[in-house]
Amino acid sequence: MTIKSIAVGERRIKPGRIFCIGKNYAEHILELGDAGTTLQPKTGEHPVVFMKPVTSIVSLGELIHAPMHGNVLHYEAEVVILLSGGGKNILMDKALSHVAGMTLGLDLTLRDVQSEMKKRGHPWELSKSFDQSSPLGTMRSYDDSFDLFNIPFTCFVNGEKRQEGNTKDMIFSIPQI
Protein backbone atom coordinates (compact mmCIF):
# COMPACT_ATOMS: atom_id res chain seq x y z
CA MET A 1 0.00 0.00 0.00
CA THR A 2 1.41 3.40 -0.98
CA ILE A 3 1.55 6.02 1.79
CA LYS A 4 -0.62 9.03 0.97
CA SER A 5 0.69 11.24 3.78
CA ILE A 6 2.89 11.11 6.86
CA ALA A 7 1.60 12.32 10.23
CA VAL A 8 3.89 14.87 11.86
CA GLY A 9 2.24 15.93 15.10
CA GLU A 10 -1.14 17.39 14.08
CA ARG A 11 -0.09 17.94 10.45
CA ARG A 12 -0.04 15.51 7.56
CA ILE A 13 2.64 15.90 4.89
CA LYS A 14 2.47 14.23 1.50
CA PRO A 15 5.81 12.55 0.77
CA GLY A 16 7.51 13.59 -2.44
CA ARG A 17 10.90 12.42 -3.56
CA ILE A 18 12.98 10.28 -1.23
CA PHE A 19 16.69 11.06 -1.28
CA CYS A 20 19.01 8.63 0.46
CA ILE A 21 22.66 9.14 1.29
CA GLY A 22 25.06 6.26 0.80
CA LYS A 23 28.50 5.76 2.29
CA ASN A 24 28.01 8.42 4.97
CA TYR A 25 29.47 6.55 7.96
CA ALA A 26 33.17 5.62 7.94
CA GLU A 27 32.54 2.42 9.90
CA HIS A 28 30.02 1.19 7.31
CA ILE A 29 32.35 2.04 4.41
CA LEU A 30 35.12 -0.02 6.02
CA GLU A 31 32.66 -2.85 6.78
CA LEU A 32 31.68 -3.01 3.09
CA GLY A 33 35.31 -2.95 1.97
CA ASP A 34 34.91 0.23 -0.12
CA ALA A 35 38.59 1.14 0.20
CA GLY A 36 38.45 3.81 -2.51
CA THR A 37 35.82 5.90 -0.72
CA THR A 38 37.02 9.12 0.93
CA LEU A 39 36.35 9.19 4.66
CA GLN A 40 36.90 12.96 4.88
CA PRO A 41 35.05 15.01 2.25
CA LYS A 42 37.04 17.49 0.22
CA THR A 43 35.77 21.02 -0.36
CA GLY A 44 33.03 20.90 -3.00
CA GLU A 45 32.61 17.12 -2.73
CA HIS A 46 29.05 15.79 -2.66
CA PRO A 47 27.63 12.77 -0.84
CA VAL A 48 26.60 9.59 -2.66
CA VAL A 49 22.88 10.09 -3.39
CA PHE A 50 20.31 7.58 -4.56
CA MET A 51 16.54 7.81 -4.67
CA LYS A 52 13.69 5.56 -3.63
CA PRO A 53 10.06 5.69 -4.77
CA VAL A 54 7.24 6.64 -2.40
CA THR A 55 6.11 3.00 -2.66
CA SER A 56 9.22 2.08 -0.66
CA ILE A 57 7.75 3.64 2.52
CA VAL A 58 6.28 1.21 5.03
CA SER A 59 4.48 2.38 8.17
CA LEU A 60 5.38 1.13 11.62
CA GLY A 61 3.95 -2.34 12.24
CA GLU A 62 3.12 -3.04 8.61
CA LEU A 63 4.14 -6.41 7.13
CA ILE A 64 7.10 -6.27 4.74
CA HIS A 65 7.19 -8.53 1.70
CA ALA A 66 10.73 -9.31 0.55
CA PRO A 67 11.20 -9.01 -3.22
CA MET A 68 11.76 -12.17 -5.22
CA HIS A 69 14.65 -10.89 -7.37
CA GLY A 70 17.27 -11.28 -4.63
CA ASN A 71 18.27 -13.67 -1.86
CA VAL A 72 20.34 -11.69 0.67
CA LEU A 73 18.22 -9.00 2.36
CA HIS A 74 20.20 -6.65 4.63
CA TYR A 75 19.01 -3.77 6.77
CA GLU A 76 20.62 -0.59 8.03
CA ALA A 77 19.14 1.67 10.70
CA GLU A 78 18.99 5.24 9.45
CA VAL A 79 17.98 8.66 10.72
CA VAL A 80 15.13 9.92 8.51
CA ILE A 81 14.53 13.64 8.05
CA LEU A 82 11.30 14.97 6.53
CA LEU A 83 11.54 18.38 4.86
CA SER A 84 8.69 20.79 4.30
CA GLY A 85 8.60 23.65 1.86
CA GLY A 86 10.96 22.08 -0.65
CA GLY A 87 14.53 20.96 -0.44
CA LYS A 88 16.33 22.66 -3.32
CA ASN A 89 19.05 25.28 -3.16
CA ILE A 90 18.91 25.67 0.62
CA LEU A 91 21.77 27.51 2.27
CA MET A 92 23.40 25.41 4.96
CA ASP A 93 22.66 27.96 7.71
CA LYS A 94 18.93 27.82 6.77
CA ALA A 95 18.72 24.03 6.37
CA LEU A 96 17.29 23.19 9.79
CA SER A 97 14.37 25.61 9.27
CA HIS A 98 13.17 23.24 6.51
CA VAL A 99 13.08 20.17 8.78
CA ALA A 100 9.46 19.24 9.58
CA GLY A 101 10.02 15.92 11.29
CA MET A 102 12.38 13.11 12.07
CA THR A 103 12.26 9.42 12.84
CA LEU A 104 14.32 6.29 12.59
CA GLY A 105 13.87 3.91 9.72
CA LEU A 106 15.48 1.04 7.88
CA ASP A 107 17.18 1.04 4.51
CA LEU A 108 16.63 -2.46 3.13
CA THR A 109 19.10 -3.69 0.52
CA LEU A 110 19.37 -6.85 -1.54
CA ARG A 111 23.14 -7.22 -1.04
CA ASP A 112 23.55 -10.01 -3.62
CA VAL A 113 21.86 -7.85 -6.27
CA GLN A 114 23.83 -4.77 -5.19
CA SER A 115 27.15 -6.64 -5.44
CA GLU A 116 26.28 -7.76 -8.96
CA MET A 117 25.25 -4.22 -9.97
CA LYS A 118 28.51 -2.80 -8.56
CA LYS A 119 30.60 -5.39 -10.48
CA ARG A 120 28.88 -4.37 -13.70
CA GLY A 121 29.16 -0.65 -12.96
CA HIS A 122 25.36 -0.35 -12.97
CA PRO A 123 23.15 1.77 -10.69
CA TRP A 124 21.89 0.23 -7.43
CA GLU A 125 18.15 0.79 -7.93
CA LEU A 126 17.31 -2.91 -8.29
CA SER A 127 18.93 -3.59 -4.93
CA LYS A 128 17.61 -0.60 -2.96
CA SER A 129 14.54 0.95 -4.57
CA PHE A 130 11.99 -1.84 -4.37
CA ASP A 131 8.54 -1.52 -2.80
CA GLN A 132 8.61 -1.63 1.02
CA SER A 133 12.38 -1.05 1.21
CA SER A 134 12.01 1.90 3.63
CA PRO A 135 10.19 0.97 6.86
CA LEU A 136 9.72 4.05 9.06
CA GLY A 137 9.14 4.62 12.75
CA THR A 138 6.71 7.21 14.08
CA MET A 139 7.54 10.65 12.69
CA ARG A 140 8.14 13.26 15.41
CA SER A 141 7.80 16.99 14.89
CA TYR A 142 11.18 18.67 14.78
CA ASP A 143 12.05 21.55 17.08
CA ASP A 144 15.24 23.11 18.41
CA SER A 145 15.35 20.71 21.37
CA PHE A 146 16.62 17.97 19.02
CA ASP A 147 20.34 17.93 18.46
CA LEU A 148 20.54 16.59 14.90
CA PHE A 149 24.33 16.50 15.26
CA ASN A 150 24.17 13.93 18.07
CA ILE A 151 21.37 11.37 17.62
CA PRO A 152 22.33 7.94 18.91
CA PHE A 153 20.43 5.01 17.41
CA THR A 154 20.46 1.24 17.81
CA CYS A 155 18.95 -1.59 15.77
CA PHE A 156 17.86 -4.78 17.52
CA VAL A 157 16.73 -7.93 15.72
CA ASN A 158 14.83 -10.39 17.92
CA GLY A 159 16.34 -8.78 21.02
CA GLU A 160 19.92 -8.92 19.73
CA LYS A 161 21.81 -5.67 19.10
CA ARG A 162 22.94 -5.67 15.47
CA GLN A 163 23.85 -2.04 14.79
CA GLU A 164 24.43 1.21 16.58
CA GLY A 165 25.41 4.59 15.29
CA ASN A 166 25.25 8.30 15.91
CA THR A 167 24.75 11.27 13.60
CA LYS A 168 27.93 12.80 15.06
CA ASP A 169 29.79 10.13 13.06
CA MET A 170 28.30 11.16 9.70
CA ILE A 171 30.77 12.19 7.01
CA PHE A 172 28.26 14.74 5.66
CA SER A 173 26.08 16.35 8.37
CA ILE A 174 22.32 16.77 8.04
CA PRO A 175 22.56 20.50 7.15
CA GLN A 176 25.29 19.72 4.57
CA ILE A 177 23.09 17.12 2.95
The model's pLDDT over 86-112, given as tens digits with 9 standing for 90+, comes to 778 899 899 999 999 999 999 999 999
Q: Which helix H or strand E contains 36, and what residues bound it?
A: none
CATH classification number, 6-169, choose in 3.40.50.10950, 3.30.70.980, 3.90.850.10, 4.10.780.10: 3.90.850.10
HSE (side-chain half, CA atoms, 13 Å) at 118: 11
pTM check: above 0.75: yes
pLDDT digits (tens, 9 = 90+) for 35-53: 555 556 665 678 889 999 9
* 18-30 as b/e: b if 16+ CB within 10 A: bebbbbbbeebbe
What residues does each domain of the chain span? 6-169
